[in-house]
Amino acid sequence: MKFLLTIFLASFLLATSALAEEQVDLDAPDQVQAGTSTYSVAQLTLDWEHGRIAIRLVGGNGERREVVFGDADNARAMMQALNKMDLSTKSLHRRIMEKLIADGHLVGSISGVPD
């Protein structure tokens, strides 16, 4: 019985580590945060009152980075579009990373699967 439990736990841990959350794999390591080669979304703040979007990223080595969309009109327009999006076709994290890449905040490609 212990042997079967050990086999089950080992296979579960291997399967879990193979499924990585969505992340941006940078084309070149980030030198602002030396050696960081990936970023994933850690926090998203939508401030409707002040028209501000803050995105906190975490690097592969635990580094933190924040991107803020502070232009109130632009931020509110993005929030309104996000509010109406069908997130069953593409995850929120993927959409955020696509926006960060499109706006030049990150340079890389997206990998992984949604949590």
Spell out the domain ranges in the chain: 21-111
Q: What is the pTM of this model?
A: 0.76
* Closest C-alpha among 72, 55, 53 to residue 64: 55
Give pLDDT tens digits for 92-111: 999 999 999 999 999 999 99
Could you tell me the pLDDT band of residue 20, with boundaries at 50, 70 and 90? low
* Token pair of 105 as six digits: 């905040």
pLDDT at 4 over 60: no
pLDDT single digits (tens) 27-85: 887 766 667 899 999 999 999 999 999 999 999 888 899 999 999 999 999 999 999 99
* Confidence label for 16 from pLDDT (cuts 50, 70 and 90): very low
